Amino acid sequence: MKVSPIVTYSLENWKGYNKLFCNKKIYAGSQYYYSFGTIAYLLFYGISFIIFIILEQKPLYKKIIYLFLYSIYLLLVILFCLICAFTDPGVVPINGLTANELKNSNCCSSTRVFYINGIRYKVRFCYTCQIIRPVGSSHCKTCNVCVEKFDHHCPLVGNCIGKNNYRYFFVFLILINSFFIVTLFSSLCAIIFNKNLISIYIVLLSVLTMLFITTLLIYHIKFTCRNMSTYSNLKMKDTFILFGNPFSRKNCKKNCYFTLFKKYVKRIDFTIKTHQPKESDSLTSINSSNSNSQSLNFRTFNSYGRRNINIGY
């Protein structure tokens, strides 16, 4: 008997507000254009510094060297801003279930829980994406997708910050902070030694901007060293206070490695692929790469609805 090919992941079922460009090869956050506003601010700030401070330097060779180094640094900050905006944060593939299949697969009662390193963690089912969410994942209302190790939706880059692009976001925070610090001290030196009073407004811009981005960097350094996320800190704050952080590797170096340097397999391919299934294959169109499919997860629960796992997040 002939069986027609099924689509393992079809963009017709895609419910997210994210954008796909260049024949679906480039992923962009739902508000990717916000990153252009961040870049415009950086360019305005950087060009002002170049005009009022760098171009006033003497002799000529010093002016050229400062201009070259500062321009490279500015372009590097802009580059990481764009990388954050146009990188898949770790979108979890949706399940193409029918209404009856969705009703039958919904087993997320209060008796079904994970135990992460001995700490109770409720199973979460996403009705929009029709999946059991991986541990630490959440549904972003702005992008309308579930994201693995969801941290937050960042207005600076207009994209979710998750497992796949958190390292780029962290580098972006370090670069933009050091960029403003260098500019601030250079502007102060110009005021003190060269009596360049025009650069006062650059100092004011630097201070106002750093009140936000420096606080954000300190916040994420703390979470990186503890292998946490903004979302998990907000939703599991009581658990952290009572039992400690279940995701921590009990070692700062290991936590930083798993957060910033561990390579992750891309779960989702935004191009349409088909395959010829065997007769024994399920007729349900479910992404084969989705390790959080209903059957896989529910089989791992015991008769009491519990699943014991040891995870480093």
Task: List active site positions.
Answer: 154
Distance CA 225, CA 188 (A): 33
**DSSP-assigned letters across all residues of the chain:** -----EEEE-GGG-----EEETTTTEEE-TTTTHHHHHHHHHHHHHHHHHHHTGGG-SSHHHHHHHHHHHHHHHHHHHHHHHHHHTS---BPPPEE--HHHHHHH----TT-EEEETTEEEE--EETTTTEEPPTT-EEETTTTEEETT--EEETTTTEEE-TTTHHHHHHHHHHHHHHHHHHHHHHHHHHHHH--GGGHHHHHHHHHHHHHHHHHHHHHHHHHHHT--HHHHHHSHHHHHHH--TT--SSHHHHHIIIII---------S-EEE---TTS-SSEE-TT-TT-HHHHHHTS-TTSEEEE----
Instruction: Please state, as a whole number, how many other Cβ atoms lie within 10 Å of the Cβ of residue 34.
Output: 17
